[in-house]
Structure 1
Amino acid sequence: ATVLACSIAKEGFEKISKGANPVEIRRGVMLAVDAVIAEPKKQSKPVTTPEEIAQVATISASGDKEIGHILSDAVKKVGRKGVITVKDGKTLNDGLEIIESLKFDRGYVSPYFINTSKGQKCEFQEAYVLLSEKKISSVQSIVPALETASAHRKPLVIITEDVGGEALSTLVLNSLKIDFQVVAV
């Protein structure tokens, strides 16, 4: 596409330098762009079967059929709207790992929320979630969520712009002293 665009621009500038009307050149280029964009759409067809997905994935993987089948399996398991992340591994084998959970790009607010010995992680099962668009600095704003989670003996995950001050201190103390499962991210 870049080579084609450079060639079109070069030819257009040449024609303009020889006296062609720049407005007409632009109009012609825009018509050509519309045609070039429309043609692949006309020729395309939806990929529906796992075999077709594997074929497309194999082509995208430079002909590697094993990768094509792994990607097809991934699409089958997460669905068309699911998220697939491809990473370089530390082994010689290719594989598929399905993580049925929620991951955050940024982590917990305090290292005191770490609750597992395998790495610096905080992991919960069947947790309650509190979402807030605002910064939480007062513990009073989250007391109802803390009480509900505590009453039902469920972990609490607080997802917010920021947690600080009295609220953060209270969460850390609850996590350490009374073994209340809570994390703020």
Structure 2
Amino acid sequence: AQMLREVASKTNDIAGDGTTTATVLAQAIVREGHKAVAAGMNPMDLKRGIDKAVAAVVEELKKNTKKITTPAETAQVGTISANGESEIGQMISEAMQKVGSEGVITVEEAKHFQTELDVVEGMQFDRGYISPYFVTNTEKMTADLENPYILIHEKKLSSLQPMLPLLEAVVQSGRPLLIIAEDVDGEALATLVVNKLRGGLKIAAVKAPGFGDRRKAMLEDIAILTGGQVISEDLGIKLETVTLPMLGTAKKVRIDKENTTIVDGAGKSDDIKGRCKQIRAQIEETTSDYDREKLQERLAKL
């Protein structure tokens, strides 16, 4: 029973479907295998025979596969996977059309009884504003920044003293500033909030997404998407030396309590394509299902 559970679980992780078929096949292989071994067959010869049979069957299945090309076919597959719920199948088809083959589709429990499809443009990560005082739209409780500079800082910001020259340059430019850092607290946060409330600085701050090495990689993704640099002492860049051209930019940034969305970053197309190619290579190489899922999410965001 434990082995059949593992078969079904692994099939679901790799293919996302087909658990019933995998369970039936596994049960048949075990039953017939036991018979063969009981009749005197060498188990290693049996294993080699199974491997050859698998290769032959897979090759034949590939010849008979039909590539899905229309929304109706996608809806049909989605309906079957949703246990016959045609409404869900249709919604899956619409989502696939809108985000493409490398987009990310997530399913979340609604706070009401309607099933909705929400398409998010740009790069979104699950970190909201550090303080509600950064909100610009009190009705929707969002911080909306038009054509902002984006400071991408790897460490925590507890004091603004090292970046005062940069803040002065941002104020003179008349453009908003988004700070993405490990955290912003203490004197730094208090000073930013006071300046925002006084109207001297259009600013918002969010915590960097992810943890550890994944955080570093995601900050680099954001930097490439927005045409900026990750400010990190490991790379020999100190906050005191940062100038406006080292900051990222985007057409728009929207921040709510839980998420930050960067729309139309100013990164170079070739740099973004190169980063995508690098992530695809990592997806091919990794043996961890969790790492593969996180890499695919990063790829979709880019």
1:180 correspondence with 2:180: no
**d(CA) in 2 for partners of 1:166, 1:94:** 44
**d(CA) in 1 for partners of 2:202, 2:116:** 37
Question: 1:113 aligns to what?
Answer: 134
Question: 1:70 aligns to what?
Answer: 91
Q: Structure 2: 5+ residue runs without aligned partners?
A: 1-21, 208-302
Code of the aligned partner of 1:22 = P
CA-to-aligned-CA distance 1:39-91 (integer Å, 9 cap, x gap): 43332222222232222223333333333333322222333332323334344
Does the C-alpha gap of structure 1 residues 74 and 39 become closer, same or farther in structure 2, counting only changes over 3 Å?
same
Question: 2:50 aligns to what?
Answer: 29
Does the residue aligned with 2:179 lie in a helix, a strand or coil?
A: strand
TM-score between both structures, scaled by the size of structure 2:
0.48
Does the C-alpha gap of structure 1 residues 2 and 141 become closer, same or farther in structure 2, counting only changes over 3 Å?
farther
**d(CA) in 2 for partners of 1:169, 1:23:** 70
State the structure with bigger RCO (CA 8 A, min sep 6), 1 or 2: 2
Question: 2:160 aligns to what?
Answer: 139
**d(CA) in 2 for partners of 1:147, 1:14:** 80
Code of the aligned partner of 1:80 = S
Does the residue aligned with 1:2 lie in a helix, a strand or coil?
A: helix
Code of the aligned partner of 1:182 = A
Alpha-carbon deviation of 1:151?
3.5
Alpha-carbon deviation of 1:35?
3.6
Alpha-carbon deviation of 1:135?
1.0
1:81 correspondence with 2:71: no
Question: 2:125 aligns to what?
Answer: 104
Question: 1:95 aligns to what?
Answer: 116
Alpha-carbon deviation of 1:163?
3.9
2:171 to 141, 150, 155: 150
CA-to-aligned-CA distance 1:84-137 (integer Å, 9 cap, x gap): 2333434444333333354322333445434443576544344333334x2143
1:41 correspondence with 2:72: no
1:127 correspondence with 2:148: yes
**d(CA) in 2 for partners of 1:106, 1:6:** 45
**d(CA) in 2 for partners of 1:52, 1:35:** 27
Does the C-alpha gap of structure 1 residues 32 and 105 become closer, same or farther in structure 2, counting only changes over 3 Å?
farther
**d(CA) in 2 for partners of 1:32, 1:141:** 67
Does the C-alpha gap of structure 1 residues 145 and 77 become closer, same or farther in structure 2, counting only changes over 3 Å?
farther
Does the C-alpha gap of structure 1 residues 184 and 24 become closer, same or farther in structure 2, counting only changes over 3 Å?
same
Q: Structure 1: 5+ residue runs without aligned partners?
A: none
Question: 1:52 aligns to what?
Answer: 73
Identity %: 45
Whichever structure has more helix as a proportion of its residues is 2
Residues 123-132 or 140-149, more deviating: 140-149
CA-to-aligned-CA distance 1:146-181 (integer Å, 9 cap, x gap): 455434433322333444565445434433443522
**d(CA) in 1 for partners of 2:97, 2:144:** 27
**d(CA) in 2 for partners of 1:63, 1:41:** 26
What is the aligned length? 184
Does the C-alpha gap of structure 1 residues 67 and 166 become closer, same or farther in structure 2, counting only changes over 3 Å?
same
Code of the aligned partner of 1:74 = A
